[in-house]
Amino acid sequence: MARKELLGRITLDSVLSPRGYITFGSTASPVVHTIAVIVLVDYDNLDRLQRNRGVRYAITHVLGKVGRPPMLHTQTVTCRLYGNWFDRQALSYAAQRLLPDVAREFPRAVPIVDQHGSHVVLVRVELAFSLLCDPTQQLTHTYRRRSIPPSLSCSRLPFPNCADSSSCGVATLEPFFRTHVCPRQGCSVEPTDVLDRAEQKMVDSMILIDMVHVARQTNEPIVLVSADDDLWPGIHFILLTGAEVVHVLPRRGIPSRPAFPLPPNCRYSRAIM
């Protein structure tokens, strides 16, 4: 298969400062790398235990599931990690924790072994701060806090599996979450003021656009690591163009096929981590 160049890769030099903050910068102009295989990883979609064992373990495990055949025509693999890397315009806590690990462990030579032999590839890992087609524009605000839904309800007392319902400390909160009124007279606090939930935004769209971009730039397989159903229309489109997609599902017990049929004679394969 032919190799093509993907242009416009930002090189991020991440440094852990003495105070524990991550500082980073980009080169003045995009850096050109010759890459045959790009692995697009929805990092938050990986199993928590895999992420907790570190980025080296997670990436090595992913490549092991991809297997040798898609990698036989390349010596270089770039893994792009997608996630909620920006809290407003600053690096999120998740990004700050992950960047030093990435800088310490990669680039690294990784052997991909199966029953037929071994193939060694040089693996680079980067956090997807921007689109491949426009690397100078960082897409911020990918981590956002949302209030809990107003329809949130609380189970009635006694709570299931409570060890001692007569002295349960959580029981005092039940009227608050059931009535949405603070038991203290004159207090206007509601459950939506107390609880919130984190969301990642724009990540699926970034993956989809990068998939299309890579399909236009190379003949090599596109490796997608995600179990998100929202990506299936993009996978379907990529397959219609004739590109090969290797789909790695991060967890067992999730649907491995869409509800609609795949294009006939498409080049699609899947593996489960």
Longest Cα separation, the chain: 73
**Three-state SS string across 110-167, please?**
EEEEECCEEEEEEEEEEECCEECCEEEEECCCCEEEEECCCCCCCCCCCCCCCCCHHH
Q: CA-CA distance, 248 to 270, in Å (whole number)? A: 6
Q: CA-CA distance, 218 to 205, in Å (whole number)? A: 20
Q: CA-CA distance, 139 to 131, in Å (whole number)? A: 8
pLDDT given for residue 30 in this prediction: 38
pLDDT given for residue 149 in this prediction: 63
Name the DSSP class of 87: E
Per-residue pLDDT of the chain (273 residues; tens, 9 = 90+): 433 333 233 233 332 232 232 333 333 333 333 457 999 999 988 988 888 999 999 999 999 999 988 888 888 999 999 998 988 888 988 899 999 999 999 999 999 988 888 999 999 999 999 999 999 999 888 776 666 666 666 777 777 778 877 777 777 777 777 777 887 888 888 776 777 666 677 898 999 999 999 999 888 899 999 988 889 999 999 999 999 999 999 876 566 677 788 899 999 998 888
User: Do residues 58 and 51 make contact, with C-beta atoms less than 8 angstroms apart?
Assistant: yes
pLDDT given for residue 7 in this prediction: 29
pTM of the model: 0.71
3-class SS of residue 58: helix
Which among 37, 14, 36 has a CA at the least distance from the CA of 25?
14
pLDDT given for residue 146 in this prediction: 62
| Assigned token pair, 101 | 């690990």
pLDDT given for residue 95 in this prediction: 92
| Assigned token pair, 19 | 């105070």
pLDDT given for residue 14 in this prediction: 32
| Assigned token pair, 115 | 């029953």
